[in-house]
Amino acid sequence: MGERSESAGARLNALLASAGLPSLTSAQTLGFESYLALLMRWNARINLTAIRDEDGILVRHFVESIACARALPAGIATLLDFGSGAGFPGIPIALCRPEIAVTLAESQGKKAAFLQEAVRLLGLQARVHAGRAETLSQQFDCVTLRAVDRMTEAVHTAANLVVPGGCLAPMTTSTELASVQAAAGPGFTWQSCIRLPGGSDRVLALARRTLQ
């Protein structure tokens, strides 16, 4: 089989269209193509993500993260991607929502190094915190979490990093939703979940931290 003639950006926009989501701009498409190429190169050397083929990354990581970026409410100035890993959903948020100053928190050194290179290469309005998110001294307008270890413990910690009136945005499954919501504690008002494309069980749960 020869190389595919259709670009990664064209395939990504086709996947977005099939999920009922608007296409990316030309600049965003180029950004995601560069991100994918960097991810593929680094993933050949270190284990950034268990999904190693381009189409799998587009379907499982990019489309879901783009859907998250577009579903986040307006007015967010600062966002923390808690346990960012290979940058999901933080880097897609930075690409799709350049008005948001994104912090990518990742404690594993090799993954943090990848994130630093991605931010540099893509020219993102983002910074990398190469350490545990709970060591951060600031709070954020929004905190996202996706596929982190010990999700309920992470949500409990992340809840304290949301400013009063800010948004907590875990990406989880409908079966884990109740435990995730309970872990955040009583200081949050949960909105209706947003179904994420690519899997019938995946949801974005949005909660507003009540003013105190």
Q: Under a CB-based contact definition with an 8 Å cutoff, are residues 181 and 190 in contact? A: yes
Instruction: Kindly give the pairing relationship between strand 202-204 and strand 162-173.
Output: antiparallel
Quote the mean pLDDT of the chain.
93
Q: Domain 8-209 belongs to what topology? A: Rossmann fold (3.40.50)
| Residues 78-82, mean pLDDT to the nearest whole number | 98
Instruction: Kindly give the pairing relationship between strand 162-173 and strand 207-209.
Output: antiparallel
pLDDT at 5: 63
pLDDT per residue as tens digits for the range 122-166: 999 899 999 999 999 999 999 999 988 889 999 999 999 999 999
pLDDT at 125: 87
| Residues 83-104, mean pLDDT to the nearest whole number | 97
pLDDT per residue as tens digits for the range 26-76: 999 999 999 999 999 999 999 898 888 999 999 999 999 999 999 999 999
The confidence band for 211, taking pLDDT boundaries of 50, 70 and 90, is low
**Residue 182 has which token pair?**
């309970």
The confidence band for 198, taking pLDDT boundaries of 50, 70 and 90, is confident
Helices (H), ranges, the chain: 8-18, 26-43, 54-57, 63-71, 90-96, 109-122, 151-159, 177-184
Q: What does the chain come to in residues?
A: 212
Domain extents for the chain? 8-209
